Structure 1
Amino acid sequence: MTATRGATAGHAAPPTADAARRSLGRTSIGGPYPTVHERFSAVLTRASPWAGWLGPLAVAGLALLLRLWRLGDPDDITFDETYYAKDAWSLEQFGYVRNFVEKADGQINAGRLDGLIADGPAQIVHPEVGKWMLAAGIRLFGMDPFGWRFAAAVTGALTVLVLCRLVRRLSGSTLVGCVAGLLLSLDGLHLVMSRTALLDVFLAFWLVCAVACLVADRDWGRRRLLRLHERGEPTPGVPVRGFGPVRGMLLRPWRLGAGVCFGLACGTKWNGVAVLAAFGLLTWAWDAGARRAIGVSWAWLRAAVVDAVPALFSLVGVAFAVYVASWGGWLAHHDLMADAYAEPYEWGAYATAEPDSALGETGQALHDLWNYHEQVWRFHTVDVVRTTRDDPHPYESDPRGWLLVNRPVGIDLRGDVPAGEQGCTAVGDDTCLRQVLAQGNPVLWWTGALALLTSLWWWLARRDWRFGVPLVGVAATWLPWFAFDERSIFFFYAVAVIPFTCVALALVLGKVLGRADAPRLRRAVGAGVVGAVLVGVIAAA
């Protein structure tokens, strides 16, 4: 502090307002903390909005082109599209997922959509948001390979756009933001999953959107907290009494947006719950740090009351409401679900009772949904584990090796590609074998792993909050899989990990590149290193 409390004019000059705004302590390298004004100012306050959009849009356009090019090839149902493409078509046709006849794949591949449906609702084991998004593409372009993959391709490109904007906000550099987006657009795993009708690319998209909203909320909240704090005319040098500003901090639009995105992520796959929990804790830490910076004592505890509790409603409450709403089609047909599953799965006698009011009908529908969730949970934690033990899948992988790309997944295999077609260099009547592999770009993943280690040092040793974003993101999307390594787990689940790895690598490359006002030699060396990494990623793509 510049002066102690209770100092008189005879002993020490009163602290200036600027000095009073300084935080307690010193930085990790021994210098004084910047003023609260400096710490609470977003790094993009003087950036051009046009430049901030044109670059990311160009990178996203490249990503979209790569994902739409020959999207209909392979020209039939591949890999787990047999589940999700058909589920999406059923949602688009009937509002809920129905069973299909045994040879439905062959009929769909032949372009015949009559006679596909069997009796009864299907037992789906993932929520429906991603399938509804696939259904949008089918509605636009029909039930063919291009149609059922279109939404995944567009969503993959949108993920690149949001990632560019997120890293731009974190780094204060449009260039660094575009580097992050370019890295993601050239990753083989993300590219293949964006060209396949599975759910994981939608999960990754909504998670990146949610985190982008939380980072924007951090900027918004700190600016507003400082403005409300100064409006109260604080006494220089005197710690803030109580909690600091509260009333004006309860409604936070960006945080509500994050809650919606987390709800949609969880409504795609349950993996989103771990990311919501992890970033909820990180947000609490950000809020506590902001209150401590304006002089609030016991900031961690006080932020838990006035920030974390409202955030519980904005994030968890909103996410839960969105998640339940995403089951709307299922809830509207809950009676069919009860007829099919209540007896074999022992839902209870209530399931066959006739409700006597609209409220009773709603309660019964929600009760059915709860029992169905227990049924699905048993599938993931018991049935799949038993199947894995008895008949392991050839493409399953240990999540401990994902960051090193330990076991790519074969999506499609063709052994009869004629000479001269699709890049086949065979001669005469010989043919080529072509395989579509969900494999990460090795240069990106391996340098990304090093960047994560570097980010840990920047976050903990240098106290740079920005590096906590990719670290928490990677931890929340990767580490929970370790608890389920007894069941079949596949590398393509890591498509939710790679966006955060790209954030870490881009931030580290930004540090390597250096500031715009750095010495010319320093910038030249940094540019050479960054260029070498990008060339390596492009060459390995």
Structure 2
Amino acid sequence: LSLGELALYGADGVLISAGKLEYADGASALFDEQTLVPERESYMNSTYFDEIYHARTALEHIEGVYPYEISHPPLGKLIIALGIRAFGMTPFGWRFMGTLFGALMLPFLYILLKNMFGGTAVPVCGTVIFAFDFMHFTQTRIATIDTYAVFFIILMYLFMWRFVSGGRLWNLALSGLFFGLGAASKWTCIYAGGGLAVIWLVYWFTRRREENFWSKLAGNALFCIVFFIVVPCAVYYVSYWPYGEAKGMSGLAMLFSEDYAEIVINNQKYMFNYHADLVATHPYSSRWYQWIVDGRPILYYLANFGDGTKSSIGAFLSPLLCLGGLLAVIGAGIRAFKKRDGRAAFILIGYLAQLLPWIFISRLTFEYHYFPSAVFLTLALCLMFDESRKAELPGWRGNLLAFTVVSVALFVMFYPVLSGLRVAEWYSTHLLKWLPSWPF
């Protein structure tokens, strides 16, 4: 156990001066920087929400300690640990990698949009709309694992699109690899894998009349067994390396030991039972039918200062993306079935793959579980704008630009309740609280 600076408080909550303390020789270093002790705990100097689990577990991986938080696969917390290694066990350190991955989402999303829709206006505006989405901003600033799941979902769908739109097999292989990395970060990526499987089946169904169809299908199926089952399972299995080391194992040989395999298998059982049997309540929990209309944001942080100001951090989608995207998804569904539009089907399948499983889950859920769906809401909106462009509808460019500008304006308007910025209570309570169920 390592200690930096130690601050002691009296029963009245007041910091006890170091001059009033008696301590053994050698302990003076624990009390020599009392001026650096913050006046009050906040998200700027402490963990908030699930950071208390994930940042701690990331540090435990660094220190070789068996992890405390084992209700999710290890990879996301191992990525968080990279930031801690670089910048220390500080808020900046444990949040760095999430913010980096949040930024890296954008160029890959742009490439996906460019591949699907061509041109420049739609991909650029679509990327800006997602970049200024509330959830994208809030979720990538907190040291939890959802950011990595969404990052890998974007990549696995990017390369699946490249394959089904005429690309080579290496695109399919990369899609499978990123599926494995995503699954090793959070199980929500397994839902995405289900979407990829449906897309793959639809792709081959549309080619059923081609010459040598069955031999082509069989060869591709074997390829997918390697890159969507064998490789992901290997990635997933190896991600438990720190668990093995914490139990005293070392070297490649541990991967082939019964003890290591038992650790991995037992953790899968634990995770399944944990999520299946979780019985808990939370004041900011919500259900899937609330997510799709921004009905109940989750409040990550709230501090009242007693002077008419407060600081809060809420996680929810931009209302414009949430509602506009939902209408666009419905439109994509209509296009997929009526016009056999491949792009629309791709988007619809991806969206439903992320949403439908939550309909059947009775455990405690939160709006941040809708974060992966924001990717497909963005794609659906871009599809509608691109169809307007192709149909040469008057004003399509102006509508696209207006939607983008309003998205940015809403982000600026709601920035205080997304970032924790201290503002007057009337601003968040009266100007930003559009629904009674919004908790800030």
Q: Tell me, yes or no, whether TM beats 0.5.
A: yes
Distance 1:488 1:360 in 2: 34
Q: Which residue of 1 aligns with 2:230?
A: 317
Distance 2:45 2:122 in 1: 37
Task: Answer whether contact 1:74 1:412 (CA < 8 A) is retained.
Answer: no
Choose which of 52, 57, 60 in structure 2 pairs with 1:87: 57
Task: Answer whether contact 1:152 1:195 (CA < 8 A) is retained.
Answer: yes
Task: Answer whether contact 1:209 1:261 (CA < 8 A) is retained.
Answer: yes
2:175 corresponds to 1:258: yes
Look at both structures and tell me which one has the larger radius of gyration over its CA atoms. Answer: 1
- Relative to 1, partners in 2 of residues 1:200 and 1:123: Cα closer, same or farther, differing over 3 Å? closer
Task: Answer whether contact 2:255 2:261 (CA < 8 A) is retained.
Answer: no
| 2:366 alignment partner AA | F
| 1:399 alignment partner AA | W
Distance 2:403 2:120 in 1: 18
Distance 2:205 2:216 in 1: 5
CA deviations 1:452-474 (Å, max 9, x no partner) are 01111222211221112221111
Q: Which residue of 2 aligns with 1:471?
A: 348
Distance 1:143 1:398 in 2: 34
| 2:188 alignment partner AA | N
| Count of residues in correspondence between the two structures | 367
1:507 shift after superposition: 1.4
Task: Answer whether contact 2:294 2:316 (CA < 8 A) is retained.
Answer: yes
Distance 1:335 1:372 in 2: 17
Aligned pairs (5 A) from 1:84-483: 84-94=54-64, 96-98=65-67, 122=68, 124-221=70-167, 252-290=169-207, 292=209, 295-296=210-211, 299=213, 304-334=217-247, 362-382=257-277, 384=278, 387-388=279-280, 392-416=281-305, 430-483=307-360
CA deviations 1:181-204 (Å, max 9, x no partner) are 111111111110011001111100
Task: Answer whether contact 1:408 1:438 (CA < 8 A) is retained.
Answer: yes
CA deviations 1:123-161 (Å, max 9, x no partner) are 511111111111111111111111111111111111121
Distance 1:505 1:303 in 2: 34
- SS state of the match for residue 404, structure 1? coil
| 1:91 alignment partner AA | H
- Relative to 1, partners in 2 of residues 1:360 and 1:501: Cα closer, same or farther, differing over 3 Å? closer
CA deviations 1:39-94 (Å, max 9, x no partner) are xxxxxxxxxxxxxxxxxxxxxxxxxxxxxxxxx96332111110011111121232
Distance 2:165 2:271 in 1: 39
Identity %: 25
- SS state of the match for residue 497, structure 1? helix
Task: Answer whether contact 1:284 1:307 (CA < 8 A) is retained.
Answer: no
Is the deviation greater in 304-313 or in 451-460? 304-313
Distance 2:71 2:181 in 1: 16
Task: Answer whether contact 1:514 1:526 (CA < 8 A) is retained.
Answer: no
Distance 2:119 2:230 in 1: 34
- Relative to 1, partners in 2 of residues 1:290 and 1:435: Cα closer, same or farther, differing over 3 Å? same
Distance 2:63 2:165 in 1: 43
Aligned pairs (5 A) from 1:23-62: none
CA deviations 1:363-392 (Å, max 9, x no partner) are 33213321221122111111x1xx32xxx2
Distance 1:285 1:361 in 2: 38
Q: Runs of 5+ in structure 1 lacking a partner?
A: 1-71, 99-121, 225-251, 337-357, 418-429
Choose which of 384, 397, 400 in structure 2 pairs with 1:527: 397
Distance 1:488 1:258 in 2: 31
2:380 corresponds to 1:504: yes
Is the deviation greater in 212-221 or in 148-157? 212-221
CA deviations 1:454-497 (Å, max 9, x no partner) are 1112222112211122211111111111121x211000111111
CA deviations 1:286-309 (Å, max 9, x no partner) are 2343463xx327x4x555423223
- Relative to 1, partners in 2 of residues 1:172 and 1:402: Cα closer, same or farther, differing over 3 Å? same
| 1:466 alignment partner AA | R
| 1:406 alignment partner AA | G
Distance 2:197 2:367 in 1: 26
- SS state of the match for residue 106, structure 2? helix
Task: Answer whether contact 1:287 1:307 (CA < 8 A) is retained.
Answer: no
Is the deviation greater in 192-201 or in 363-372? 363-372
Distance 1:276 1:331 in 2: 27
- SS state of the match for residue 143, structure 2? coil
Query: What's the C-alpha RMSD, in Å, of the aligned pairs?
Result: 2.2
2:44 corresponds to 1:74: yes
- SS state of the match for residue 161, structure 2? helix
| 1:205 alignment partner AA | F
1:325 shift after superposition: 1.3
Task: Answer whether contact 1:412 1:437 (CA < 8 A) is retained.
Answer: yes
Distance 2:202 2:255 in 1: 42
Q: Which residue of 1 aligns with 2:32?
A: none
1:163 shift after superposition: 0.8
- SS state of the match for residue 359, structure 2? helix
TM-score (norm 1): 0.64
